[in-house]
Structure 1
Amino acid sequence: MEEPTPGGAQSRPTVLLVDDEESILNSLRRLLRSQPYDILLADSGAKALEILEQRPVDVVMSDARMPNMDGATLLAHIHQRYPSTLRILLTGYADMTLIAKAINEGQIHRYISKPWNDEDMLVTLRQALAYRHSESERQRLEKLTRQQNKQLKTLNATLEKHVAARTAELQQTADMLDLAYEELKRSYVTGTEVFSLLANLRLPKAKQSNRQIIELIRVYCTTHGLGEADSRDMTMAAALYNIGKLGWSDSMVTTPADLLASTELDLYRAYPKQSESLLMTLDPTKDAARIILHHQECWDGSGFPDHLKGEAIPLGSRWLKLAVDFIELQRGLILERQMSSAEALLFIRRYAGKVYDPGLVEDFVGVCAVFLSDDTLNDPRVKVLSTRDLATGMTLARNLNADNGMLLLNAGKVLSGPLVEKLIAFEAMEGAEYSIFVKVPEEPKAAASAAG
């Protein structure tokens, strides 16, 4: 059976026999004639090297004692020039010096003594060729592994670049989506405010409450350093706390809570739950809905809808309760008599520990002081202008509401030329005259110095 080559194809191994005695060469050729080898003959070391220059040889078996170049020297040359060719020394003398030279310099695979045993000779050659084949295969696989590792390294480097580029692209997309989502949530807050003020139009102007409750909650969020998410939830809760009243009759909407008929009380006590149910279907308002659900709970457990007591009432709900009652007491929506802001605060203080969280009341009074003082008037950059005096780049210092209470623009909005023109046209259409609180941008110091 033919030995496989390193490349995988079938080929006959080549054996080169070297001896200066023709009879020895003929004996070896006759012995190996039936074997699946290509047999080459050389009668000297020089002739053997010529043959090796012309074609590859798997095994060289050389006699030890030859004129001009002995076997050990030949095999040493072959080891230097053709290290993959296996080398066997054939010696008829117990010459340990020559054998040692062949082993040390020629790195021989085996040595065979003369006269040889034919069967031992055949076994030795078969083993040598098998070893030669396994070594060739090992070298081929090592080379292939190195090539594949090099290719894999290149692919990994390319893949890492692609992954890094793709990761950067995905991160950029994620950042853009985050920004868009944050903008959407801010738009939701504005949308809820507009909706609540439109819903408030069912009430006479003197009884409308949502706009001031929103502003009061904003002051609370600012003075307490609430994060954007908590501020957004509290503001939406303030805007939509009474959305559950939309199904009430006009007379019930305007009737103070303490004057409602017994048949209307169940409907009144259900409005926080109704408000929560309407908002829970919208993901951006879910947290605000939970605040609204419990804003009519009382500190002593006498509130509704779940009779929660003390700190079992969510903190946001406790604050919303204070803000709602403070404004609704002044609008005549809780008691028949409309209170002043000072009277409303006295009422809240009186019921601290019963209706309201006693630990929050004085803090709330401080928030109301800030709310009522209107700090924008103390800012020298804030001006009160008519629509025709507005200019591009000015920023609204307060929310701008139409005479009917509808929110037109949010505080913080930067005015543009087209927006100013729209305000002038809307004012003319409504037959109104708006006084608009704006923050005028400061001139750069360098420009001011140059002007001086």
Structure 2
Amino acid sequence: MMFAASTAQAATVLLVDDEPNVLSAIKRELRHEPYRLLMAESGEAALELLAEEDIDLVISDAIMPGMDGAQLLAEIQQRRPSCVRILLTGKADLSATIRAINEGHIYRYIAKPWDDHELLLTLRHALSHLQSERERRRLEALTQAQNEELLALNADLERRVAARTEELQQTADMLDAAYGELKQSYVITTRVFSTLINQRLPRSLQTNAQVGRLVRAFADDQGLDESLRHDLEMAAALYNLGRLSWDDQMLTTPAQRLYAKQQSEYRRYPEAGEALLMTLEPLQGAARLIRHHREYWNGSGYPDRLRDETIPYGARLLGLAVDFIELQRGMILPRQVSRPGALELLQKLAGRVYDPELCRAFIALCQEQAPDLGLQDARVMTLDTRQVEPGMVLVQDLHSTEGMLLINHGKALTASLIERLIRFEETEGASYTLIVRPAESEEEV
């Protein structure tokens, strides 16, 4: 019982009985316990002490003149519900005991004459229970405070991103128009959030757009249902969210060159990404794909060591797309792997790391087309801003040199938008290349 006793350190116990010899007997029995003992010879005196002292536990006799034990404990329950209440009762006090249970919500009752060992054990258990409840409430309050702190940190991140891009404010009218359209689509809005994440990552490690193009092309090729497509697009945009807490050195080090401690942190990023998204109802499906996109077909992956078809289909596809792009960027091996070499490596790992059937279909798509480059359509053209014409449709997102999304793919260019983009280039001292296709009306003609 050493643990129970230790949790009761500095507990204040109030003994209430109209017979002084009973109070003395209980006090004598508790003399070796680490409690601060208070005594009262009536219910009224006990309530006065309750108003002045922070009392953890009350032991009250059932039968007392004036206010009896049941009335006293019911009053204490109203005034101080967290205070543990115990009733001392004789065999003839059944009605008082029942009232104490019903009205005072007592923790226990102890029959007179009491057993000394039982009395000590009951107090220790009661105070241990009280300590556990207090700790639970403390942890709930701490969790709430941490959630609020996280919200504050997210808000601060947005402010800092805005501060770093002050020089782009002269294009606010263009960005406002883009954001107005983005609000109409939750998927597109998610991709905007992805560009904010990219502010933390080096340009060469901003892989979200390529991963997104791959999963969209595969979804089109395989005719995946709309719900899964929706989750896949958002997961592709946000899969590396859990890496934002890494330091710069770890962000730029290939996975196979990380130290053991860094490897452990690396393996936690899918869980961290899921945790940040689970509170957002529309993103819970994407969060589940992010959590499991590092699971392996043979069960040796992480975080849950799922295997075979217990791994969500979307997570299997996301893992393939992520590895295909990150191998080429030099983010996994200590060297950049060529596009054909990456496809060959995926094939070798089929059946161990990847779903073999899914891997075959994925490789076939990448060999027939180049969806990760956004150039698989023969009508697609690569033009600078002074070559594009009104009505052309943007095939690939256009970002500023700082990584901010300027125009989202699928946007039909207007003369006004092209003119503003040319002025923006002159202001920023940059030159942008746009990947576009002809307007639908022109194709029909």
How far does residue 390 in structure 1 lie from its aligned partner after superposition? Answer: 3.3
In the alignment, which residue of structure 2 is the partner of 1:83? Answer: none
Aligned mates of 1:334, 1:270 — CA distance in 2:
16
Aligned mates of 1:385, 1:184 — CA distance in 2:
24
Secondary structure of the residue aligned to 2:382 is strand
In the alignment, which residue of structure 1 is the partner of 2:246? Answer: 248
1:293-312 counterparts in 2 under 5 A?
293-312=291-310
Q: Which amino acid aligns with 2:378?
A: D
Give a deviation string over 1:90-130, Cα, whole Å, max 9, x none.
xxxxxxxxxxxxxxxxxxxxxxxxxxxxxxxxxxxxxxxxx
**Aligned pair in 2 of structure 1 residues 445, 279: CA closer, same or farther (>3 Å)?**
closer
Aligned mates of 1:220, 1:242 — CA distance in 2:
20
In the alignment, which residue of structure 2 is the partner of 1:371? Answer: 370
**Counterpart among 189, 196, 200 of residue 191 in structure 1:** 189
In the alignment, which residue of structure 1 is the partner of 2:281? Answer: 283
Give a deviation string over 1:206-256, Cα, whole Å, max 9, x none.
333222111111211221223433222111101101101111111111111
Give a deviation string over 1:152-209, Cα, whole Å, max 9, x none.
xxxxxxxxxxxxxxxxxxxxxxxxxxxxxxx888632222222223322433333332
Aligned mates of 1:201, 1:263 — CA distance in 2:
25
**Aligned pair in 2 of structure 1 residues 391, 320: CA closer, same or farther (>3 Å)?**
same
Aligned mates of 1:374, 1:445 — CA distance in 2:
23
Aligned mates of 2:317, 2:184 — CA distance in 1:
21
**Aligned pair in 2 of structure 1 residues 345, 431: CA closer, same or farther (>3 Å)?**
same
Secondary structure of the residue aligned to 1:272 is helix
Q: Which amino acid aligns with 1:430?
A: E
Larger Rg computed on CA atoms: 1
How far does residue 372 in structure 1 lie from its aligned partner after superposition? Answer: 5.3
In the alignment, which residue of structure 1 is the partner of 2:394? Answer: 396
How far does residue 374 in structure 1 lie from its aligned partner after superposition? Answer: 5.8
In the alignment, which residue of structure 1 is the partner of 2:59? Answer: none
**Aligned pair in 2 of structure 1 residues 409, 366: CA closer, same or farther (>3 Å)?**
farther
> Are 2:357 and 1:359 aligned?
yes
Q: Does structure 1 retain, via aligned residues, the 8 Å contact 2:295–2:303?
A: yes
Give a deviation string over 1:293-326, Cα, whole Å, max 9, x none.
1000001111111000100000000000000111
How far does residue 340 in structure 1 lie from its aligned partner after superposition? Answer: 0.8
Give a deviation string over 1:254-286, Cα, whole Å, max 9, x none.
111111111122221111111001011112211
In the alignment, which residue of structure 1 is the partner of 2:344? Answer: 346
- The alignment's C-alpha RMSD in Å is 2.5
Q: Which amino acid aligns with 1:320?
A: L
Q: Which amino acid aligns with 1:260?
A: L
In the alignment, which residue of structure 2 is the partner of 1:129? Answer: none
**Aligned pair in 2 of structure 1 residues 228, 186: CA closer, same or farther (>3 Å)?**
farther
1:169-318 counterparts in 2 under 5 A?
187-318=185-316
In the alignment, which residue of structure 2 is the partner of 1:62? Answer: none
**Aligned pair in 2 of structure 1 residues 234, 375: CA closer, same or farther (>3 Å)?**
closer
Q: Does structure 1 retain, via aligned residues, the 8 Å contact 2:391–2:439?
A: yes
Secondary structure of the residue aligned to 1:360 is helix
**Aligned pair in 2 of structure 1 residues 286, 326: CA closer, same or farther (>3 Å)?**
same
**Aligned pair in 2 of structure 1 residues 443, 199: CA closer, same or farther (>3 Å)?**
closer
Q: Which amino acid aligns with 1:323?
A: A
Give a deviation string over 1:351-393, Cα, whole Å, max 9, x none.
111111111111111222322596756534x443332333432
1:38-57 counterparts in 2 under 5 A?
none
Aligned mates of 1:343, 1:406 — CA distance in 2:
31
**Counterpart among 408, 413, 430 of residue 415 in structure 1:** 413
Q: Which amino acid aligns with 1:205?
A: R
TM-score (norm 2): 0.55
Q: Does structure 2 retain, via aligned residues, the 8 Å contact 1:294–1:305?
A: yes
In the alignment, which residue of structure 1 is the partner of 2:436? Answer: 438
**Counterpart among 376, 379, 385 of residue 387 in structure 1:** 385
Aligned mates of 2:389, 2:432 — CA distance in 1:
15
Q: Which amino acid aligns with 1:228?
A: E
**Aligned pair in 2 of structure 1 residues 259, 422: CA closer, same or farther (>3 Å)?**
same
Secondary structure of the residue aligned to 1:320 is helix
Q: Does structure 2 retain, via aligned residues, the 8 Å contact 1:219–1:371?
A: no
**Aligned pair in 2 of structure 1 residues 438, 296: CA closer, same or farther (>3 Å)?**
same
Secondary structure of the residue aligned to 1:299 is coil
Q: Size of the alignment, in residue pairs?
A: 264
Aligned mates of 2:219, 2:427 — CA distance in 1:
36
Aligned mates of 2:257, 2:230 — CA distance in 1:
34
Q: Does structure 2 retain, via aligned residues, the 8 Å contact 1:197–1:211?
A: no
Identity of aligned residues (%): 48
> Are 2:426 and 1:425 aligned?
no
Q: Does structure 1 retain, via aligned residues, the 8 Å contact 2:242–2:270?
A: yes
Q: Does structure 1 retain, via aligned residues, the 8 Å contact 2:297–2:351?
A: yes
In the alignment, which residue of structure 1 is the partner of 2:68? Answer: none
**Aligned pair in 2 of structure 1 residues 366, 241: CA closer, same or farther (>3 Å)?**
same
Aligned mates of 1:440, 1:306 — CA distance in 2:
47
Secondary structure of the residue aligned to 1:389 is coil
How far does residue 329 in structure 1 lie from its aligned partner after superposition? Answer: 0.9
Q: Does structure 2 retain, via aligned residues, the 8 Å contact 1:186–1:232?
A: no
Secondary structure of the residue aligned to 1:408 is strand
Q: Which amino acid aligns with 1:407?
A: L
In the alignment, which residue of structure 2 is the partner of 1:11? Answer: none
